[in-house]
């Protein structure tokens, strides 16, 4: 196959630019100890409500200053729709959806993940000081999408 010299040059440059971009992405993630939200398991969406831990959504303490929040996303609410956590805590959210894809986003934090039906999404964060956060759905999920919110209240320890 004949490839024009200039075309070949453009292909080489493309490969180099892509390589540099991917390298920079990997490097920045390693350097900042960030990781992408990873699937932490799967449940058949119709079985979510009867499968632990999602049969009992809410906040639980799992260690000194360590909490776990079990949460279900469904059209068009978060269950529970209000959680209270003491300031100075490390919190892991375990979330899944029972119906369609929702988006888990808490502005002013690093929390940002997709919530896929039956797939357990795990994200964690440190809440250092008392303040209120709003959990939003940032994935269009139907007519009630815009009102799919929840309160995350960090209380004085």
Binding site for ligand CUA (CB under 6 A): 76, 102, 137, 139-141, 145, 148
Least distance CB 114 / ligand CUA (angstroms): 11
Is the Cβ of residue 77 or residue 124 nearer to ligand CUA in the bound state?
77
Task: Please give the Cα distance from 14 to 34 (Å, whole number).
Answer: 27
Is the Cβ of residue 70 or residue 95 nearer to ligand CUA in the bound state?
95
The answer to whether 106 and 118 are in contact (CB under 8 A) is: no
Least distance CB 12 / ligand CUA (angstroms): 43
Least distance CB 43 / ligand CUA (angstroms): 18
Strands (E) across 19-129 are located at 38-42, 58-63, 66-74, 77-79, 82-86, 89-97, 102-105, 112-115, 119-127
Is the Cβ of residue 68 or residue 139 nearer to ligand CUA in the bound state?
139
């Amino acid at each position: 196959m004949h490839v024009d010299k200039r075309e070949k040059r453009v292909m080489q440059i493309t490969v180099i630019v892509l390589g540099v971009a991917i390298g920079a992405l990997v490097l920045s993630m390693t350097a900042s100890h960030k990781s992408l939200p990873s699937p932490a398991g799967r449940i058949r969406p119709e079985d979510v409500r009867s499968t632990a831990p999602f049969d009992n959504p809410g906040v639980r303490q799992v260690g000194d200053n360590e909490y776990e929040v079990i949460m279900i996303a469904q059209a068009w609410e978060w269950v529970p729709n209000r959680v209270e956590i003491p300031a100075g805590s490390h919190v892991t959210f375990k979330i899944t959806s029972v119906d369609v894809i929702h988006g888990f986003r808490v502005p002013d934090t690093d929390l940002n993940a997709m919530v896929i039906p039956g797939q357990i999404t795990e994200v964690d964060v440190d809440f250092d000081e008392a303040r209120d956060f709003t959990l939003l759905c940032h994935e269009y999920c139907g007519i009630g999408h815009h009102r799919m919110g929840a309160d995350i209240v960090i209380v004085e320890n």
